[in-house]
Chains A and B, each alone.
Chain A
Amino acid sequence: MKTENQRGWLFVLPVLILVAFNALIPLMTVVNYSVQETFGNNQFFWAGLRWFEEILRSERFHAALGRQLLFTFTILIIEVPLGVAIALAMPRRGFWVPVCLVLMALPMLIPWNVVGSMWNIFTLPQIGLLGYFLNDVLGINYDMTQQPVSAWITVIVMDVWHWTSLVVLLAYAGLVSIPEAYYQAAKIDGASNWSVFRYIQLPKMKRVLTIAILLRFMDSFNIYTEPFTLTGGGPGNSTTLLSIDLVKIALGQFDLGPAAAMSLIYFAITLAVSWLFYTLMTRDDQ
């Protein structure tokens, strides 16, 4: 096959270069930092796996990881069923379809740091609309700058507000692809609404939901901007998620070695959980 056309590789080249710049080179730098110690002046000393051991034994890391898992788990528990429920409630044809879709997409169009600032101002106890309303009108003692529980609720509500739309849109795409005949057949077979959901809608949505859950897992596990602008990780360390802690170590304390090791552990966890999840979800597809 001498005439085999090799030009195709040329078209892939820009992507390869981009991926190299984007991922491979920074990753190699991080690997480099993670096994060395530096005191500045570009002086490096071999540290081996010391940083990895320290991080893995550090209580601070355990605490941040725990908070991170709690956060991710909570938002998934809320956003996925809520997103599916909203998608099921949306009209499937007619005038309201585009209106609903635009309304749903709006939160996702707002820059992340704006979302954080917005919710910060919105929920401040004295000047924020919500803060004022909760404290002074309803008489609920709410202050996310002082109370860890308030701060947690605020961070989660903010994420649900920001990202449930993604689940909605993906689930909706899955729903509208189901041919009308399925619903008609189910009606005639005497299926209940629950059966229709369980045996038609859910199986047909499974693929897009897998993608939705995967995306939400990875995004929420790496979340930084919004909680940082909202609470700065406080009060105390109560909302210091993994990425916020990582930035504190790397930029706040300038411990590049431990920060690099932590990044790699962080990356490994994200990758492992995503892989495990994807394998489990697609296990019985042929």
Chain B
Amino acid sequence: MTLELRNVTKTVGADTHIHPTSLAFEKGGFNILLGATNAGKSTLIKLMAGLEKPTTGEVWADGQNVTGTSPQKRGIALVHQFFINYPHMTVFENIASPLRVQGLGRSEIETRVREAADVLQLGPMLDRRPQELSGGQQQRCALARAIVKQSKAIFLDEPLANLDYKLREELREQLPDILGERGTVIVYATSEPTEALLLGGHTALVHEGRITQFGRTPEIYHLPGDLTSARVFSDPPINLAPVTKRGEEMWMDETINWPVFGEAAALADGPYTVAIRPHHVTPTEPNDVSIAIRGPVQITELSGSESVAHFRIGGQTWVSLAPGVHPYRVGDYHEFHMIPGQCFYFGADGTLAAKGRAHG
């Protein structure tokens, strides 16, 4: 099974929701659409599922053009961010509903519903109605309905967004096993970068109706193709600052400079944007080669295992994230260490010009 968008666009009135987009998803593993709210993730899902028609372009499934095919005939399942179940039916009837539509026999339905319920730990709740279940169980019920019919593609549109933090973690943990090796294409929309990393697979970064980068999830995290992609795929937000390359060195704010090597050294002199993730700006000297930078601490946050400091540097607010507890005092100038080997340099047009290296 493959699912493909070929040069698809979507405009509504004067608004362009999706700019020309081509994308191919395969079965096995998660295909993640990562982007902020209103970036176009839901629209892409609706286009692939056939709930909306592209303004131009085509949707292909398994080598067939399905652009005009209705969603009912595409053999797909959709799980929404809100827990959508039939309120007047029991959990059993809810899970069985797609099979009844297919007209399967009673015993077959019984077996398959029990199977799906087992996978989602809903066995003891089959006789209850959705409103008697907790939020997590309601979403499991919706998931069971999606997997029971063995569809060709499953679309999950921020399925965990409305769950409690801990429930979200538990269900996310189980999702790969639940959806597992079913030979279906799994498309999963989320606005949380960490969620994408935990689920792995492939990720398409969505920003203002465009796919800015697509590839294996950890790979595109470690090598963003452009500034937008770097920003979309970073939580906490990636630190940015304008820099100027002069000879063998990068200059920031005319006071801080560091030598550059490799492809960064080969860049033409001129202005660039440096980007570095918060965990590569540390309060103590790291093992890697680092540059000391100083700035007044504005806000400090402690999350138990990690300390966060927001500080001013070169006219920007930067964030440092480090394991352990660090005694920051708000207002004090504090020394941080940034690792040039972990910097990205972006050109004026926003594309990645070079990735930093520690040594020559």
What residues of chain A have their CB less than 8 Å away from a CB belonging to chain B? 1, 3-5
Q: Is the interface of A mostly helix, strand, loop or mixed?
A: loop
Task: Give the most central of B67, B68, B70: most A CB within 10 Å.
Answer: B68
What are 7 sample pairs from A and B whose C-beta atoms fall under 8 A apart?
A1-B53, A1-B68, A3-B67, A3-B68, A4-B68, A5-B68, A5-B70
In the assembled complex, the Cα of A5 lies from the Cα of B70 at a distance in Å of 10
Could you say which residues of chain A place their CB within 8 Å of the CB of B67?
Answer: 3
- Sort A-B residue pairs by CB-CB distance and give the 7 closest, nearest first: A3-B68, A3-B67, A4-B68, A1-B68, A5-B68, A5-B70, A1-B53
For B70, the chain A residues whose CB sits under 8 A away are 5
Residues of chain B lying within 8 A (CB to CB) of residue A5? 68, 70
0/1 string, B70-84, CB within 8 A of A gives 1: 100000000000000
A89 CB to nearest chain B CB (Å): 30
Total number of B residues with any Cβ neighbor in A under 8 Å:
4
Q: How many A-B residue pairs have CB under 8 A?
A: 7
Complex Cα–Cα for A206 and B146 (A): 41
B residues 180-216 in Cβ contact with A at 8 Å: none
Bound Cα distance from A1 to B58, whole angstroms: 11
In angstroms, Cα B70 to Cα A241, docked, is: 55
CB distance from A226 to the nearest CB of B (A): 40
Complex interface residues of chain B between 52 and 69 (CB less than 8 A to chain A): 53, 67-68
Nearest B-chain residue to A4, judged by Cβ: B68
Bound-state CA distance A74–B107 (Å) is 68
Bound-state Cα–Cα, A3 to B68, Å: 6
> For the complex, what is the distance from the CA of A3 to the CA of B70, rounded to whole Å?
11
List B27-65 residues whose CB lies under 8 Å from chain A. Answer: 53
* A2 to chain B: closest residue by CB: B68
| Contact residues in A for B68 (Cβ distance below 8 Å) | 1, 3-5
> Complex: how many Å from CA A1 to CA B53?
10
For residue B70, which residue of chain A has the nearest CB? A5
Q: Which residue of chain A has its CB nearest to the CB of B69?
A: A3
Residues of A within 8 A of B53 (CB): 1
In the assembly, what is the distance between CA of A4 and CA of B68, in Å?
7
Q: Closest CB-CB distance, A78 to chain B, in whole Å?
A: 41
Which residues of the other chain, B, contact A1 by a CB distance below 8 angstroms?
Answer: 53, 68
A222 to B67, CA, bound (A): 51
Closest to B55 in A: A1
Bound Cα distance from A1 to B70, whole angstroms: 14
- Residue on A nearest B56 in the bound complex, by CB: A1
Quote the shortest CB–CB distance from A210 to chain B (angstroms).
Answer: 25
Kindly provide the distance from the CB of A96 to the nearest chain B CB, expressed in whole angstroms.
Answer: 24
* Complex Cα–Cα for A210 and B70 (A): 39
CB distance from B281 to the nearest CB of A (A): 39
